[in-house]
Amino acid sequence: MEIKAVFFDIDGTLVNDSRAVLKSTEKAIQSLKEEGIYVGLATGRGPAFVKPFMERYGFDFAVTYNGQYILTKDRVLFTSPIDKKSLHQLIDYAREHRKEIALGSKDGVFGSRIMSFGMSPISTWSSRFVPRKMARTVSRGFNKVVSKVVPQDQDTLFALAQEPIYQVLILSSPEETAKIEKEFPHLKFTRSSPFAADVLNPGISKLEGIRIVGQEFGFDIDEVMAFGDSDNDLEMLSGVGLSIAMGNGTTSVKAIAKHTTTSNGKDGIQKALQHFGILSEKELFLSKDDHFNKVKTFHGVMDGETQEKPVVWQPQEALYRTMFKQEELVEFVRAASRNEEEFDRSVAALHEALDKAADKVRSKHPAEISMVGQVDALIDTLYLTYGSFVLMGVDPEEVFEIVHRANMGKIFPDGKAHFDPVTHKILKPDDWEEKYAPEPAIKKELDRQLKAYEKHAKQKEAKKDN
C-alpha cells in the first residue's frame, strides 16, 4: 500500500539537538508535499508550540499533547480535556509529595518555573549530556530543591485548572512515575523525557490521533509512515504502516520500529524516506512507474549505484538474470502442485517447453545482442505476470509493497547491505524474519481481498433478491 501521510515527532526527531530543522529534512518535507503526500506532526508538545512549525514548513495537521488536541492549518479537529476532578487530585498529589507539576492548555504549558525551563531550548540541549540512568537522581533533586526555594503556588495551579487542560506534566523518574500511576489508574501516563511524565486521558495516544486525522483526510493507518525517538512514540510506531526509529531513539523505540535510521543530527529523516523509496534522490531519473522507482532505490542501496544510461545486457549477466526468474517460476509451479509426482511432471514439462521455445526463437530471431530484443522480452514477461494476477483475481499492489519492504529490510542499521564473504549472498539482519518475512503479510493481504470479494458478492446477491 502506498504511503499517503508522513508524521513526525518533534523533539529528538524533526529537530536536531540544537533545536533546528535540518536543511535535508526541510527539503524532504517540501518534496513530500510536491508528491501529494500529507505531512503532519505527532508530538507531546501543545498547539501553541507547534503552530510556528506548521506555518514555516507547511504541515497539513498536527496531533498535539499526545493526541488530546488535534488541529489543521485552519481549524481544530478534536480535543479531549482532562476532567476537573482528576486535575485537582493531581495538583493535590503533587503538593503532598513535593512534585513539580505543569498544566498544558491550548496556549502553552504553565504552573512550574523549573518545568518551563526544562522545556526550553537550552535545557533540552543540555539534557542530552545527562545519562538516562541518572534521570531519577536529577528529577528527585530538582523536586527537592525547587519545592523549597521556589514552591509552587497552589492557587495559581487551581486557577489554571479552570481552563481546559489537555495534558499534565509531572517531574518524576520512570520508577516514581510507576508509583504515581497506581494512584491514578483512570488516567494514562507516558514519557517523552527521561525526567518527566505526561498525563492524559485513557484511550488517547498519537496513534489514535493519527487515526482521527486519517478519517478526516481519507487515508488509513496502514498508509502512514511515522518517525519517533521516545517512549511516547511507541503506540504510534507499533500501529502505523511504516515505522521509523531515529538513531538517537530509546532502545524500546528501536526494538518496535520496522527500521532504524541515522540520528536527528545526521539526516535521519531524509535517509529513511530515500531508503524506502518514498523519496528518490533528485539526481537520478524517475519513472512514472512507482514500482520501478522502489526497485531502483533497492538496487541503489544494494549495489551502491544505479544505472542511469540505457545499456544492453551482456550474455553472462543476462543468463544470471534469467536463472533468477527461472527459480521463481519453478517455485510458482511448486505452489500449483498437489504432490511430488505432479511437481516432477511439471518440471519435466518445463524442460520440454524450454527446448521448444529455443527452437522457435532460433527460427524467428538472429543470434545477436539487441537492446530492443531484450526490452521486448522483459516487457512481455512483465505483461504475462500481470495477466496471471488478473486471471487469479488478485490485486498485486499491496503484495508488491510487502515484498519491497521485506527486501529493504535486508539493509542493516548502518544503511548498507551486508554480503556473505564466500558466496556473496545478501545477508539478513537478525530480526529480519520477525519484522519483514513477507509470507505472513501476503497471507493477511490475500485474506483481506477474499473477504472484500465475499462482501461484494453478498451485496450483489442481495440486490438481485430485492
pLDDT at res. 93: 92
Could you report the per-residue pLDDT of 152-174, keeping only the tens digit for each?
A: 677 788 888 899 999 999 998 88
Distance CA 431, CA 446 (A): 24
pLDDT band at 279 (very low <50, low <70, confident <90, very high): confident
pLDDT band at 326 (very low <50, low <70, confident <90, very high): very high
Average pLDDT over residues 437-451: 93
Grid coordinates representing 27? Answer: 527539503
For residue 427, the model assigns a pLDDT of 87
| Banded model confidence at residue 276, pLDDT cuts 50, 70, 90 | confident
More confidently predicted of 49 and 427: 49
Q: Enter the C-alpha cell of residue 342.
A: 505432479
pLDDT in tens, 190-209: 887 778 899 999 999 999 99
In angstroms, the Cα distances linking 97 to 128, 185, 277 are: 27, 18, 51
CA–CA distance, 155 with 152 (Å, rounded to integer): 9
Q: Which pLDDT band holds residue 281 (cuts at 50, 70, 90)?
A: low
Q: 70-85: per-residue pLDDT in tens?
A: 999 999 999 999 999 9
Give pLDDT tens digits for 382-439: 999 999 999 999 999 999 989 988 888 888 877 678 887 876 778 888 888 888 889 9
Mean pLDDT of all residues in 304-311: 83
Cell reading at 419: 554480503
Question: How is 89-118 classified by DSSP, letter by letter?
Answer: HHHHHHHHTT--EEEEETTEEES-HHHHHH
8-state DSSP, 85: H
Question: For position 125, what pLDDT does the model report?
Answer: 39
pLDDT bin (cut points 50, 70, 90) of residue 302 is: confident
Residue-wise pLDDT for 342-395, tens only, equals 999 999 999 999 999 999 999 988 999 999 999 999 999 999 999 999 999 999
Closest alpha carbon to 36 in 74, 3, 61, 7: 3
pLDDT(291) > 90: no
Q: Which three cell numbers stand for residue 390?
A: 488478473
The pLDDT-based confidence of 225 (bands split at 50, 70, 90) is: very high
**What is the per-residue pLDDT across 70-126, written as a single tens digit (0 to 9) for each?**
999 999 999 999 999 999 999 999 989 888 999 999 999 888 765 554 444 434 434
pLDDT tops 60 at residue 41: yes
Cα(39)–Cα(32) distance, integer angstroms: 7
Question: Taking residues 255-282, what's their average pLDDT?
Answer: 86
Q: What whole-number percentage of the chain has pLDDT above 90?
A: 62
Percent of the chain with pLDDT over 70: 89
Looking at residue 128, what is its pLDDT?
44
* Residue 178, pLDDT above cutoff 70: yes
Q: What are phi and psi of 276, to 5 degrees?
A: -95, 10
- How many CB atoms within 10 Å of residue 151? 11
Q: What is the pLDDT of residue 121?
A: 44
Q: What is the pLDDT of residue 152?
A: 65
Residue 77 CA, chain-centre distance (Å), reads: 23
Q: Mean pLDDT score of the chain, rounded to an integer?
A: 87
pLDDT at 1 over 80: no
| pLDDT at residue 136 is higher than 60 | no
